[in-house]
Structure 1
Amino acid sequence: MTLELFGLKEIPLVKKGDNIAKIIEEDLKKEGLDLEDGDILIIAETLISKAEGNIIRIDEIIPSEEAIEIAEKSKKDPKLVEIILQESKEVVELGPNFIVTETKHGFVCANSGIDESNVDDGLAKPIPINPDASAKEIREYLEYISDKKLAVIITDTQGRAFRVGAIGTAIGCSGIKPLWVRIGEKDLYGRSLETTEIATADELAAAASLLMGQANEGIPVVLIRGFEAFNHLRDTEIGIKPLLRPKEFDVFRK
């Protein structure tokens, strides 16, 4: 199997109201890329949040007493902590310079996914309001203009428990199941798999992250071609939810 990754290099800086699907369409034309059946577009959540106007001015925030108390423990700006709290359902853990929360979406991550990079000074960028819906809208437009079966995955950079370093992680998807349940299939020795579930959307997001980078690479969209399980995992209704472990099954949260 050969997997090809194409970083789209002509994506401009996005502003509120921009149509991400049309921007991608125009970039593909510039780079001489025609969409094919089974293509998967990985899109950085920064593009989505900026286009949807999901940006917060930090100076306009008034921190609550809870935010001030947490800021003292975490060594963070109380105004930023207030934004983190507003974007969360639960504070899971506190530490020096980090706040692990469960976001409104159900993601357990540092600082509710609030990011101050790749935006102007004084601004903070939350995770898109509905990454699944954003992915679906982009996919449907690109499928319409290309007449091809596609998938779109919205990705964020997140840390991992017990591992050092950040990695591309799927936070929204459309057109493909994010979780590949392989229970019942056979291994190389003919034994039936009993617990094997593959976080396919996360693996695709991580692969794309190698091209996207985390600094000034300027590649917020990556096209992945040649994923052989695409047809098997094709689904136009499902979103990212199958990847979210229910709290009652999370042994690390008490």
Structure 2
Amino acid sequence: MRLEVTAPDGLPEVTTGSDLAALISGATTLTDGDIVVVTSKVISKAEGRVRTGDRDAAIAEETVRLVARRGPTRIVRNRLGLTMAAAGVDASNVEAGSIVLLPRDPDASARALRARLHERTGATVGVIVTDTAGRAWRDGQTDIAIGAAGLRVAEDFAGRTDSYGNELVVTLPAVADELAGAAELVQGKLGGRPVAVVRGREDLVLPIGEDGPGAASLIRPEGADLFGYGAREAVIRALAGDDADRAPFGEPAEVTELTTAIRRVHSSSWTAVALHTDGPAAYDLEIAGRPDRAAIAAVCFAHGWRVVAWQPGVSGVVARVSPATP
């Protein structure tokens, strides 16, 4: 297999109303099966998403919730569902004093660009809109797909077998992200080349009229990610116990997982763990000694449960707990 990635030079400065399809088709020759990769920056410029003003205010507007903070650095979940530093608000490659917001709907932008490119060139291409993001556990950044049209954004290998006969269970290469990273290698951050063309993966490109699931399909829904909050923020949210903060912790854990966690923060042994059957699903957890009720309530919160009542026990207290719905 051969993969070819090129980034044309000489594209003019993109401003509000610029016809990106005309600029791209004038700078490169497209053929069926090509994948056109465009930075979100030029999409935003063409769509009028550049403005002057306070960057912090723009970040606040684009933020749905704070995920983690370290000093001035904020990792947030933005209105698109993306978890990014500063909500994706950028002040680079733009006039001083200006800021660039992400496109309102990157998948829709990709669909519109794909349709216009087909009108101008007759070629059936895929389109990816990219932005730069950091990664948990890794230094550095890479480009990812935040918008896509006309291609499969992931390849599902679950259920297939490898050359040794082993069944693949969870194997889902995010090919749109991989292509975004490959494109960034030739675009460069300072090269003035916001467009790249990937050739050699025509198997991913869909027929005209089929735009595919878009890059939004790669975003895990709230509660499905194991890292809904940063380490410090998770502790604070659990101790505060605000129901509005429940969703990122996910669905309620099994009661055995909950009791194991409580044992880790309370050294005394249990004298009883019983299902409470007189009413909605709940368990009575009898805890020996004098447990820290606030700590146990926080552990319950983090595991998708709530303490609904405290009662005296034979050798300590009984915490009645029930699953909470995020």
Normalising by structure 1, what TM-score?
A: 0.85
> Equivalent residue for 2:99?
124
Q: Secondary structure at the match of 1:198?
A: coil
**Between 124-133 and 181-190, the greater mean CA deviation after superposition:** 181-190
Instruction: Give yes or no for the alignment of 1:40 onto 2:35.
Output: yes
Q: Conserved in 1, the CA contact under 8 Å of 2:74 and 2:85?
A: yes
2:221 equivalent among 238, 243, 246: 246
1:10 equivalent to 2:19? Answer: no
2:20 matched residue in structure 1: 20
CA deviation map 1:181-240 (0-9, x unaligned):
1111221212221110111100000000111112x2111000000015325899414211
The one-letter code of the counterpart of 2:220 is R
Task: Measure, in 2, the Cα distance between the counterparts of 1:196 and 1:174.
Answer: 22
- Whole-Å Cα distance in 2 between the matches of residues 237 and 192 of structure 1? 27
Does residue 86 (structure 1) correspond to residue 61 (structure 2)? The answer is yes
Is 2:145 the counterpart of 1:145?
A: no
The amino acid that maps onto 1:242 is: S
2:132–2:143 contact (8 Å) kept in structure 1: yes
Change (3 A) 1:231 1:191: farther
Unpaired stretches in structure 2, ≥5 consecutive residues: 229-248, 250-326
Q: Distance between the aligned counterparts of 2:166 and 2:37, measured in 1?
A: 34
Q: Does the residue aligned with 2:7 lie in a helix, a strand or coil?
A: strand
Give 1 or 2 for the bigger CA radius of gyration. 2
Q: 1:189 aligns with which of 148, 159, 164?
A: 164
Is the 1:177–1:233 Cα contact (8 Å) retained in structure 2?
Answer: no
Equivalent position of 2:200 in the other structure: 226
Q: What letter corresponds to residue 118 of structure 1 in structure 2?
A: N
Residue 209 of structure 1 is matched in structure 2 by 184
Alignment root-mean-square deviation, CA = 1.6
Following the alignment from structure 2 to structure 1, what is the Cα–Cα distance between the partners of residues 181 and 207? 18
Runs of 4 or more above 3 Å deviation: 231-235
Question: Is the Cα–Cα contact under 8 Å of residues 76 and 84 in structure 2 kept in the other structure?
Answer: yes
Please tell me the residue identity of whatever aligns with 1:46.
K
Cα distance, 1:39 vs structure 2 = 0.2
Query: Does 201-210 or 229-238 show the bigger shift?
Result: 229-238
Unaligned runs of 5+ in 1: 59-78
Helix, strand or coil: the match of 2:213?
A: coil
Which fold has the larger relative contact order, with Cα–Cα distance below 8 Å and residues 6 or more apart in sequence?
A: 1
Relative to the length of structure 2, the TM-score reads 0.67
The one-letter code sitting in structure 1 at the alignment partner of 2:178 is E
SS in structure 1 at match of 2:223: helix
